[in-house]
Structure 1
Amino acid sequence: MPKAQSLAVPAVSLRLLATAAGVTGLMLLLAYLVAFDQGALSQSGTFLHELMHDGRHLLGVPCH
């Protein structure tokens, strides 16, 4: 009788791992922009500036 071959099945698919890495990267970029923007991104209008400012307060990052 031939021996049964075991197939190695990864615990996490590469597609899921790539998606998780992409989402994590986007969230880190968003957190960086909110925490350290200080008006550089939002020079064109007050709405984006106020959104970033309120986001800093929400995250507990000192801004003034």
Structure 2
Amino acid sequence: MSNPVAGSKTTPTRAIDLSATSAALWLAATAFLALLAIYFVGVDQGAVSVFGSDTHVHEFVHDARHLLGFPCH
């Protein structure tokens, strides 16, 4: 019986070169997006609300707030 995998050629993969500056930039951008998501899911209401009395964002993420343990009413 022939094995089709035994004769296959593999191509070498290259490692991604990330300098410290590039890694710090990716980390900062990821942290900013995570904090922004946490703000809109957990904090965007009341005095610190970006949208004032508009509750569209609050209602859109309402179930996620309860799932993550944020009280909202």
TM above 0.5:
yes
User: Partner letter of residue 72 of structure 2?
Assistant: C
Higher-helix-fraction structure = 1
Normalised by the length of structure 1, the TM-score is 0.58
CA contact (8 A) 1:37 1:52 kept: no
Structure possessing the higher relative contact order (Cα contacts under 8 Å, 6 or more residues apart): 1
The structure with the larger Rg is 2
Q: Which runs of 5+ in 1 are unaligned?
A: 1-11, 42-46
Give ranges in structure 2 of 5+ residues lacking alignment.
1-18, 51-55
Aligned residue among 29, 34, 41 for 1:34: 41
How many equivalent pairs are there?
Answer: 52
Q: Does the 8 Å CA contact 1:34/1:55 hold for their aligned counterparts? A: yes
Percent of aligned positions that are identical: 43
Inter-partner Cα distance in structure 1 for 2:72 and 2:34: 20
- Asked if structure 1 preserves the Cα contact closer than 8 Å seen for 2:41 and 2:58, the reply is no
